[in-house]
């Protein structure tokens, strides 16, 4: 069994922090968009800053990843699997950045003020007010959220595959 | 949303409710009298730009005007240096719905019967029977005074909000727009499908229309989180300022079409109460807005040329 070193502490902390945040966001998003209950406004109010925090962390994380050492995958893995791993990681980074940007952009296009914190701290609008664009981005936000959800599930599946079936050191390298 | 659709909402790019409407604009001048209750910029500043919309609470944008249909005034107040405030108000004094459950039961009872093209009266009656707590509100609304048009109508926030003062003091309130135009009873007997809108266009071209924004402070016995309960008549009121509307445009290309009047878009100094209807409205308006914005829209009943001709008639 090839033995790989662990990821640097910063990478691991970022990974697990964001894992929790993203899963929470997916559920908050789904729940708020399908409910008209007494917590609707509270959930939306939480959804925005948490989403923006994910955006900031994802950019930091991408920087960190480009700068720091990346543990290579075990070399006994088939090429196709390695290719799939790289592609899925790229997509995960892409969605972690694109999804909150689409959220921010769609509210801008919808002509909404975008409170980030309380009622006084607002995000600037990043797109011109355009209802057709708003509607389009609103659908894109759902589609991308479901894509991210699917990808996260596949990612968890792959991690467990490494840890439980292949029993290599990949899962351990992130713990 | 499904229930709204089954209750006869039209779609095709129109608002899922309050589909027949027109854009207006003007400004708001604070009197300063509400500034001790709320730190919101609108209660301190002069000449705050306003975009608004008058509408009839119908699902069908081409429905003929009728005196008894609920009328609405929706406003977006935009102080140049502070977050904006959006509010939607209706002309009945109370909302005969208390929470999300009532709302969904109500729209289900309004479902269009394919045989008659109208809601089934038996279902509507059953709704009344199974929701006895709404009876007093429904009676209140049935017996309300109906004015001659939009210009001399009073519009109520119905839902309650909390004003927050500079020192943090919180005050539960409702508000209403009370017309400065002289008020006349409506007769409603006219063959014109758009008579209410035609009259509004004529009135606004005649002279700017004005309303007082009157804030009612909750008294000791007023129920704050239930818009189906009327408040005491002797509550303290504050005249917060004057709304002036001097321009009117069709929804075709008008400035109110591409926005939604979500009642929870509030500036610092105004906060939602725990009234559950506010949450329902915020969520439903968001969904109505994303659906209608993606659709190809047919022309509004109140067309630019209707606005032109009514103008010509006046001048
Ligand atoms: C990683 C970050 C994010 C994730 C995972 C996420 C996820 C979601 C999900 C799953 C939904 C429900 C979609 C549906 O069922 O149609 C949603 C809706 C929404 N999201 Fe996000 N989102 C993120 C970031 C943001 C940001 C940054 C904003 C705004 C600044 C935002 C604003 C919204 C809004 C306004 C809705 C619609 C609410 C409604 O329809 O009632 N999101 N989001
Ligand atoms: C309780 C259940 C209610 C439901 C389900 C409901 C639903 C809706 C919907 C779907 C729209 C169209 C929004 C858009 O596409 O922009 C709308 C508009 C509006 N609603 Fe409600 N509404 C409710 C209660 C109220 C109450 C209590 C008020 C007033 C106090 C109110 C005032 C308005 C106004 C003024 C508009 C028109 C806004 C405009 O002209 O754009 N609604 N409503």
pLDDT(A170) > 90: no
The correct CATH number of B9-97+146-314 out of 2.40.180.10, 3.40.140.10, 2.40.30.10, 2.40.30.130 is: 2.40.180.10
Tell the burial category of A164 from Cβ atoms under 10 Å away from its Cβ (0-12, 13-18, 19+).
exposed
Confidence of residue A164 (pLDDT cuts 50, 70, 90): confident
pLDDT(A1) > 50: no
Residue B185 forms beta bridges with which residues? Answer: B147
Q: Which of B283, B288, B292 to mutate to test the interface with A (most CBs of A within 10 A)?
A: B283
Separation of alpha carbons B112 and A147, rounded Å = 37
| B54 CA from centroid of ligand 2 (Å) | 12
Q: Ligand 1: does its nearest atom lie under 6 Å from the Cβ of A101?
A: no
pLDDT(A81) > 80: yes
What is the structure's pLDDT at B312? Answer: 47
Which tokens hold the place of B234?
Answer: 């002797």
What is the structure's pLDDT at B227? Answer: 94
Ligand 2 atom 9: the closest Cα is on which residue?
B17
The Cβ-side half-sphere exposure at A42, using a 13 Å CA radius, reads 6
Q: Ligand 1: does its nearest atom lie under 6 Å from the Cβ of A104?
A: yes
What is the structure's pLDDT at A2? Answer: 47
Separation of alpha carbons B161 and B194, rounded Å = 34
Q: Does any domain span residue A2?
A: no
- Per residue in A97-122, pLDDT (tens digit) is 999 999 999 999 999 999 999 898 99
DSSP string, B112-180: EETTTTEE-HHHHHHHHHH-GGGHHHHHHHHT---BSSSTT--EE--S-EEEE-TT--EEEEEEEEEES
What is the structure's pLDDT at B10? Answer: 65
Going A131 to A135 to A140 to A145, the CA torsion angle's sign is positive
Separation of alpha carbons B2 and B291, rounded Å = 12
Q: How far is CA B273 from CA B104, B129, B163, B242, in A?
A: 21, 29, 9, 24
**Residue A94's domain spans which residues?**
9-174
Task: Provide ipTM, 2 decimals.
Answer: 0.87
Q: Ligand 1: does its nearest atom lie under 6 Å from the Cβ of A33?
A: yes
| DSSP state at residue B263 | T
What is the structure's pLDDT at A112? Answer: 96
A151 Cβ partners below 8 Å, 6+ apart? A88, A91, A92, A95
A159 Cβ partners below 8 Å, 6+ apart? A170, A171, A174
Q: What is the dihedral of CA B217, B223, B225, B226, to 10 degrees?
A: -120
Ligand 2 atom 20: the closest Cα is on which residue?
B88
Q: Considering only CB atoms, which chain A residues are within 8 Å of B266?
A: 119
What is the structure's pLDDT at A130? Answer: 94
Query: What's the alpha-carbon Rg for chain B, to the nearest Å?
Result: 19
Q: Which pTM value belongs to this model?
A: 0.90
Q: Ligand 1: does its nearest atom lie under 6 Å from the Cβ of A103?
A: yes
In our burial notation (b when 16+ CB lie closer than 10 A, e otherwise), range B18-32 reads bbbbbbbbbbbbbee
Q: What is the mean pLDDT of chain A?
A: 90
Q: Does any domain span residue A42?
A: yes
Q: Considering only CB atoms, which chain B residues are within 8 Å of A115?
A: 83
Q: Which of A103, A119, A132 to mutate to test the interface with B (most CBs of B within 10 A)?
A: A119
Q: Among residues B70, B115, B11, B72, which one has the least CA distance to residue B263? A: B72
- Per residue in A128-141, pLDDT (tens digit) is 999 999 999 999 99
Separation of alpha carbons A43 and A34, rounded Å = 12
Q: How far does the CA of residue A38 sit from the closest CA of chain B (Å)?
A: 5
Query: How does pLDDT run along chain B (315 residues), one tens digit per residue?
Result: 555 655 556 667 788 889 999 999 999 999 999 999 999 999 999 999 999 999 999 888 888 888 889 999 999 999 999 999 999 999 998 898 988 888 888 888 888 777 777 788 888 888 888 888 898 888 888 888 899 999 999 999 999 999 999 999 999 999 999 999 999 998 766 778 899 999 999 999 999 999 999 999 999 999 999 999 999 989 999 999 999 999 999 998 899 999 999 999 999 999 999 999 999 999 999 999 998 998 877 888 888 888 877 654 544
A166 Cβ partners below 8 Å, 6+ apart? none
Q: Among residues B115, B37, B34, B23, which one has the least CA distance to residue B75? A: B23
Separation of alpha carbons B315 and B311, rounded Å = 6
Taking the Cβ of residue B100 and every Cβ of chain A, the question of whether any pair is shorter than 8 Å is answered with yes
- Per residue in B199-217, pLDDT (tens digit) is 999 999 999 999 999 999 9
| B105 CA from centroid of ligand 1 (Å) | 28
Q: How many domains does chain A have?
A: 1
Long-range contacts of B129-136, Cβ-Cβ distance < 8 Å, separation of 24 or more: B130/B105, B131/B102, B131/B105, B133/B98, B133/B228, B134/B96, B134/B97, B134/B98, B134/B102, B134/B228, B136/B228, B136/B230
């Amino acid at each position: 069994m090839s033995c790989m070193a662990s990821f640097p502490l910063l990478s691991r902390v970022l990974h697990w922090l964001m894992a929790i945040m993203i899963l929470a966001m997916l559920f908050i998003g789904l729940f708020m968009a399908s409910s008209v209950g007494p917590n609707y406004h509270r959930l939306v109010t939480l959804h925005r800053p948490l989403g923006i925090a994910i955006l900031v962390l994802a950019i930091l994380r991408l920087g960190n990843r480009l700068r720091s050492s990346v543990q290579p995958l075990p070399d006994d893995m088939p090429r196709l699997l390695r290719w799939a791993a790289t592609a899925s990681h790229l997509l995960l980074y892409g969605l972690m950045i694109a999804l909150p940007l689409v959220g921010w952009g769609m509210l801008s296009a919808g002509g909404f003020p975008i409170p980030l914190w309380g009622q006084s701290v607002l995000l600037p609008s990043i797109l011109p007010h355009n209802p057709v664009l708003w509607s389009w981005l609103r659908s894109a936000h759902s589609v991308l959220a479901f894509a991210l959800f699917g990808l996260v599930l596949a990612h968890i599946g792959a991690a467990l595959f490494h840890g439980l079936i292949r029993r290599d050191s990949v899962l351990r390298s992130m713990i | 949303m499904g229930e709204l659709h089954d209750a006869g909402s039209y779609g095709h790019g129109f608002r899922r409710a309050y589909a027949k409407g027109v854009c207006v604009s003007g400004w708001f001048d604070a009197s300063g009298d509400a500034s001790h209750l709320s730190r919101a910029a609108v209660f301190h500043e002069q000449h705050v730009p306003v975009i608004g919309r008058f509408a009839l609470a119908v699902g069908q944008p081409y429905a003929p005007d009728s005196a008894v249909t609920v009328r609405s005034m929706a406003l977006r107040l935009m102080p140049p240096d502070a977050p904006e405030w959006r509010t939607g108000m209706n002309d009945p004094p109370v909302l005969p719905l208390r929470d999300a459950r009532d709302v969904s039961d109500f729209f289900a009872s309004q479902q269009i019967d394919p045989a008659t093209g109208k809601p089934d009266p038996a279902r509507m009656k059953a709704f009344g029977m199974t929701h006895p707590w709404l009876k007093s509100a429904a009676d209140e609304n049935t017996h309300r005074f109906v004015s001659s048009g939009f210009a001399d109508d009073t519009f109520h926030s119905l839902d309650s909000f909390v004003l927050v003062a500079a020192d943090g003091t919180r005050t539960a309130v409702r508000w209403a727009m009370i017309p400065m135009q002289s008020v006349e009873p409506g007769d409603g007997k006219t063959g014109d499908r758009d008579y209410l809108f035609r009259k509004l266009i004529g009135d606004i071209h005649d002279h700017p229309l004005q309303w007082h924004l009157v804030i009612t402070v909750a008294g000791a016995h007023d129920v704050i989180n239930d818009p189906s309960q009327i408040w005491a008549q002797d509550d303290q009121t504050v005249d917060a300022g004057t709304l002036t509307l001097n321009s009117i445009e069709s929804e075709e290309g008008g400035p109110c079409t591409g926005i939604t009047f979500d009642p929870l878009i509030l500036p610092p100094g105004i906060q939602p109460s725990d009234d559950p209807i506010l949450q329902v409205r915020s969520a439903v308006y968001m969904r109505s807005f994303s659906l209608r914005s993606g659709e190809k829209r047919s022309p509004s009943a109140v067309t630019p040329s209707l606005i032109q001709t009514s103008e010509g008639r006046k001048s």
